[in-house]
């Protein structure tokens, strides 16, 4: 298949390379210069999203936020322009793997469908590590037919791949995922900080907890980052803030209270206000340290 990939950042680049390595012809476009690894591959650079779309059967999008997806889809020389130019060809599929608003996603899908193409929302979880290892969890919303067509491509990028429901349901699942991740990071940070302030060795506390009911992937990975203070981004605080804002916005519209989500969002805001928006989200610990006047040690 000829595949388009738009958005070659920290996540998008390794995801795109998995498709190249699987033998697919890739047409690519991104803001700024192409990553060296893409330049060195067989991927073909295109001037804009419309050119990508005209030459591809399936177009993947991996950009940061809702306005970015809207610009890629419907901006000047966007995906929609390529779909219009390709009228009469076999039905194309647009797959948005960004993490954006579920409500906006439903509108985007309707507009793309009206142009004669299918649309899948397929946000991912697993961060840069999962993207490089092709072990991402992928949560999909859209038609079963489009999902089954694209599934072999998704399997080159991830392992746990689920069609949750219709358009928007993939994004709703990703928001739910980000709520759980944020609250668990906050819980791990509070627990380790409490242990440290009480005089215990947080590294040994974490080791002990890993064998009990409190064990989790976040305690394993993010807990280690907290102890070693390795906050280079796998997933930036500012991006997790965006996801929690989507959760809180959706909660307001649904009339649902999410008090713990709001608290986690405030902790991330405290980090951002102190110049840490581009650190890994495990650095949420720093907000608690500032309040406690104590660093994990």
Q: Taking the CA of residue 73 as centre, how many other CA atoms within 13 Å lie in the half-sphere pointing to its CB?
A: 30
Residue 204 among the catalytic residues: no
Catalytic-labelled residue, pool 174, 204, 228, 242: 174
What are the E-state strand segments in 234-291? none
Instruction: Measure CA 226 to chain center.
Output: 22
How wide is the angle at C-alpha 258 spanned by C-alphas 257 and 262, nearest 5°?
Answer: 125
H or E element, residue 208: helix 202-209
Residue 81 backbone phi and psi in degrees, to 5: -65, -40
> Which pair of tokens denotes residue 124?
């991912």
Alpha-carbon gap, residue 267 to 24, rounded angstroms: 43
Contact predicate 192/226, CB 8 Å: yes
Measured over the CA atoms of residue 191, residue 194, residue 197 and residue 201, the dihedral's sign is: negative
Catalytic residues: 174
């Amino acid at each position: 298949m000829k595949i388009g990939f738009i958005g070659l950042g920290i996540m998008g680049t390794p995801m795109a390379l998995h498709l190249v390595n699987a033998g697919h012809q890739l047409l690519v476009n991104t803001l700024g210069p192409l990553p060296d690894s893409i330049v060195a591959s067989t991927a073909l650079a295109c001037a804009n999203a419309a050119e990508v779309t005209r030459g591809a059967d399936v177009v993947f999008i991996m950009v940061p936020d809702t306005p970015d997806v809207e610009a890629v889809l419907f901006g000047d020389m966007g995906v929609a322009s390529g779909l219009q130019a390709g009228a009469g060809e076999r039905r194309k599929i647009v797959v948005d793997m960004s993490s954006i608003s579920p409500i906006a996603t439903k509108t985007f899908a309707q507009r793309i469908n009206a142009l004669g193409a299918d649309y899948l929302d397929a946000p991912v979880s697993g961060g840069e590590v999962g993207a490089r290892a092709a072990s991402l969890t992928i949560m999909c919303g859209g038609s079963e037919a489009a999902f089954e067509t694209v599934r072999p491509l998704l399997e080159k990028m991830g392992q746990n791949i689920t069609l949750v429901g219709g358009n928007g349901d993939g994004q709703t699942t990703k928001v739910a995922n980000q709520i759980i991740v944020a609250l668990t990071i906050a819980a791990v940070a509070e627990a380790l900080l409490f242990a440290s302030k009480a005089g215990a060795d947080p590294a040994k506390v974490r080791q002990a907890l890993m064998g009990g009911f409190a064990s989790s992937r976040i305690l394993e990975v993010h807990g280690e980052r907290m102890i070693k203070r390795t906050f280079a981004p796998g997933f930036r605080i500012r991006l997790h803030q965006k996801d929690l804002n989507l959760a809180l916005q959706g909660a307001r519209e649904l009339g649902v209270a999410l008090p713990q989500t709001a608290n986690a969002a405030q902790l991330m805001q405290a980090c951002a206000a102190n110049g840490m928006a581009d650190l890994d989200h495990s650095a949420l610990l720093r907000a608690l340290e500032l309040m406690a006047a104590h660093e994990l040690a």
